[in-house]
Copies of this chain bind each other. A is one copy, B any other.
Amino acid sequence: MEQTEISKIGEFGLIDRITAGIEHVNASTVKGVGDDAAELSYPDTEVLVSSDLLLEGVHFDLTYVPLKHLGYKAAVVNFSDICAMNGTPRQITVSLGISKRFTVEHIEALYAGIRLACEIYGVDLVGGDTTASRQGLVISITCIGDAPKGKVVYRDGAKDTDLICVSGDLGSAYMGLQLLEREKIASAGSKEFIPKFEGKEYLVERQLKPEARKDIVRELADAGIQPTSMMDISDGLSSELLHICKASHCGCRIYEDRIPIDYQTAVMAEELGMNLVTAALNGGEDYELLFTVPLHAHDEITKLKGIKVIGHITKEDLGCAMITRDGAEMPLRAQGFNHMSEE
């Protein structure tokens, strides 16, 4: 494909190209791209705002992440933060820092992914900033969403005896990353190399194209269940559960045999000789929802599809632990992704 240097069309030319034909689907979007700020209107709901910064070489590796997938994922992980407040994502602003090795076509591919995510999730792209970067690609996204008044769910509302629930399955995105890293090493930089993903497509998809669980937020609302606390699982189940327990001043017990794990995740862990439960507890980027509901919601919650009760909240002095298959208590530890800690 022919490539166009960005300097040929300049910043405004690039913005024109990537924002062409943008339409809005949300009533809350009054004015989008093209002025000093976007204008929104939220007369009847609470407004939720979340920001994420993704840096090349830290959060993504373009040797195996296609730009369109990267755009999709960058948008979706922000939608996920809004869902984690029991909200619905409505608008995003996208700021990009672009180094000289990227062409107009590259940025169009990235935007194609962002716009596809917006289309699928019903989110409006309303603004941002585009600038040169000295080193690599910088993506900063802010997502704005809403929730009915009184329905926003925080981290600090979990109570003793509440049930701990997760959506989907865990550890698959992490195993997808291991698979991609393995194939990257095997390819040794050759462009001829054909990576072996057969039978593991789900893992690759979970890593490259995660989804935000907007459907779960709706499902809970439809069932009349108001969670007492909620987070999305971006840094691993252990780490997020510890956040909820710390904020809520409580402890927890989860059960190893209840943690939802996909078959492909198990096969991959076996192949790599990794501990499957460790991957499910500490592997990041699943973007599933972790939440607590009152004990009396037990019958209702177990009827819902794609949600699993994995344990319960306890008093604070009992600490946070997993009950293993053989009945032992293993304290939960945060071993999630922490780009800044010593390792």
**Which residues of A pack against B, CB within 8 Å?**
6-8, 10-12, 14, 30-31, 34-44, 46-53, 55-59, 81-82, 84-85, 87, 91, 93-98, 126-136, 138, 140, 142-145, 149, 152, 154-155, 230-232, 247, 338-342
Contacts and interface: CB of A to CB of B under 8 A. Distances in A.
Given A7-B340, A131-B339, A339-B11, A50 B30 contact: no
Closest A-B pairs by Cβ, 5 of them: A140-B140, A37-B50, A135-B135, A36-B84, A53-B95
Contact of A95 (B82, B126, B140): B140
A55 B93 contact: no
A171 to B, nearest CB: 21
Given A46-B41, A145-B37, A340 B11 contact: yes
A39 B131 contact: no
B48 A37 contact: yes
Contacts of A338: 10-12
Given A8-B342, A10-B340, A31-B154, 12 more contacts: A11-B341, A35-B85, A36-B85, A37-B82, A37-B145, A38-B50, A39-B46, A40-B47, A51-B95, A52-B95, A55-B133, A93-B142
Contact of A126 (B49, B81, B133, B145): B49
A98 B132 CA distance: 18
Contact of A132 (B46, B145, B149, B340): B340
A85 B127 CA distance: 14
27 contacts: A11-B340, A12-B338, A14-B340, A30-B152, A34-B247, A35-B155, A36-B82, A36-B84, A37-B49, A37-B143, A38-B50, A39-B85, A39-B152, A41-B46, A42-B47, A43-B44, A49-B91, A49-B142, A51-B95, A52-B95, A52-B129, A56-B134, A59-B131, A97-B138, A131-B339, A134-B136, A142-B142
Contacts of A10: 338, 340-341
Given A36-B231, A135-B135, A154-B35, A142 B59 contact: no
